[in-house]
Amino acid sequence: MKTLPKGWKKEKLSDYLEMVIDYRGKTPAKADKGILTLSAKSVKMGEIDYSQAYFISKETYKEFMVRGFPKVGDILMTTEAPLGCIAKLDRDDVSVAQRLLTLRGKEKQLDNDYLMYYLMSPIGQFELLSRASGSTVQGIKRSEFEKVDIVLPTSYNEQKEIANIISSFDKKIELLKEQNQTLETMAQTIFKEWFVDFNYPNATGEMIESEMGEIPKEWKIGRIGNEFDITIGRTPPRQESHWFSEIPQGMKWASIKDMGNAGVYIFNTSEYLVDEAIEKFNIPIIPENTAILSFKMTVGRVAIVTNEVTTNEAIAHFPCTKENLFFVYCYLKNFNYGYLGSTSSITTAINSKIIKEMPFLMPSKKELDLFNHKVSGLFEQLKYISKELDILEELSKMLLPQLLGHC
């Protein structure tokens, strides 16, 4: 860390915490209803996924929560699997279970929002990871957490000012994500009306039987591998780290995680492949306006690439034209992947051969052109907002360490 600004100080975080609620090692019995209970699975970086929570009975809650009760505004931190995911609690009718710490700053000494952003910052994450232990799963013991440092500005009010600046970025980012979700929902609604319910303009109502059920008479079902020059990504040997880079060099290398973070359009990736890796391992380079699909582990994530990228071997590439890109994206997004195999084994059973044999609905050129004209404006707005969102998120990453003491 660089020299701290004048008046700033580095202190032990534990000296500024009013409460640390730690229920590690205790697992309450689950129930069908009752009190919502959070574990490390529920806490993502910057948000809480309540769909990953479970219930405990009210009786168990009273017996279990003897170390303290969480409340709105407290900061949750995962202690392992994974370590260092941080989020702010937005409700107090919950309990917390294993692999979570609930943190609360001392009044007028440590602002909870400042604490959250500090722990999310590169230096905060470094503080946690540098005190972690475990060869397979990295975790932090309570005794080591007590040694974690925090960088503090000159006053409590300055903490709040810093947190407010970062929060304003977060709110703008969240607003843009909501706008994008609305736009995609509109496009998907049109797709389903036209190509699932077959309620498209000037539909004749004449239907024929197909392997996918009844379809309009003038439409066809083909094999997706016959309609697109599908390629599959590759991964160089992971143990040879020199093929990979986390800084921009070589070619962007997209993963399923990148697809999940990106939304409809992918602009950036978390890793890159150096040029030598692409040549040595014959890694396919996919052009812009290619729809990509995850088909291993996490099946059915779909995105559109905005520039040349490479991907790992769990992602299939569908090079598109301007005329069919949006249709292909919506088709892949809406496809029932359970159709390709049993739901219990689908994450391991699907391979590139099965992907290429997927049935592909082919409407007439007239309907395809009409659909493209109908949704192209929505996708253009999506792309514009996605780019703005990407820039804001990058600025936020740079802003965070700058505000937190120029770390």
- Summarised one tens digit per residue, pLDDT across range 219-276 is 999 999 999 999 999 999 999 999 999 888 899 999 999 998 888 999 989 999 999 9
Using left for φ > 0, alpha for ψ between -120 and 50, and beta otherwise, residue 277 falls in: alpha
Strands (E), 306-363: 310-311, 315-319, 359-362
**Three-state secondary-structure class, residue 283:** coil
Tokens of 303: 């995105």
Higher pLDDT, 340 or 107: 107
pLDDT for the residue 132: 92
Segment 288-302 mean pLDDT: 92
Domain 9-154 has CATH 3.90.25.10: no
Could you give the residue range(s) of every CATH 3.90.220.20 domain in the chain?
9-154, 174-395
Across the strands, what pairs with 291? Answer: 304, 318
For 122-173, what is each residue's pLDDT tens digit? 889 999 999 998 877 789 999 999 999 999 999 999 999 999 999 999 999 9
Q: What is the pTM of this model?
A: 0.81
Amino acid at 139: G
Please report where in the chains the tokens 């843009």 appear, as a residue.
176
Point out which residues pair with 96 in neighbouring strands: 38
Identify any residues that bridge with 169 across adjacent strands, giving them in sequence order: none
φ, ψ for residue 167, nearest 5 deg: -60, -35
Q: How far apart are CA 18 and CA 68, in angstroms?
A: 12
**Dihedral angle over CA of 206, 208, 214, 215, nearest 10:** -70
Annotate 108-146 with DSSP letters as a single string. TT--HHHHHHHHHSHHHHHHHHHT-B-SSS-B--HHHHT
pLDDT (mean) for 289-294: 96
Is residue 261 helix, strand or coil?
Answer: helix
pLDDT of residue 343: 43
Q: What is the mean pLDDT of the chain?
A: 91
Interior/surface letters 73-110, b for 16+ CB within 10 angstroms, e for the rest: ebbbbbbbbebbbbbbbeeeebbbbbbbbbbbbeeeeb
**Structure confidence at residue 324 (pLDDT):** 96
- What is the pLDDT, as a whole number, of residue 2? 62
Q: How far apart are CA 124 and CA 143, in angstroms?
A: 17
User: What's the pLDDT at 383?
Assistant: 96
Strand 100-105, strand 75-79: pairing: antiparallel
- Cβ-based neighbours of 155, under 8 Å, separated by 6 or more: none
pLDDT tens per residue across span 354-381: 999 999 999 999 999 999 999 999 999 9
Whether residue 1 is predicted with pLDDT greater than 70 in this model: the reply is no
Give the model's pLDDT for residue 406.
52
Fold of 174-395: Adenine-n6-DNA-methyltransferase TaqI; Chain A, domain 2 (3.90.220)
Q: By C-alpha distance, which of 299, 292, 312 is closest to 347?
A: 299
What pLDDT does residue 360 have?
96
Predicted confidence (pLDDT) per residue in 194-225, tens digit: 999 999 999 988 999 999 999 999 999 999 99
Report the distance separating Cα 361 and Cα 223, nearest Å: 9
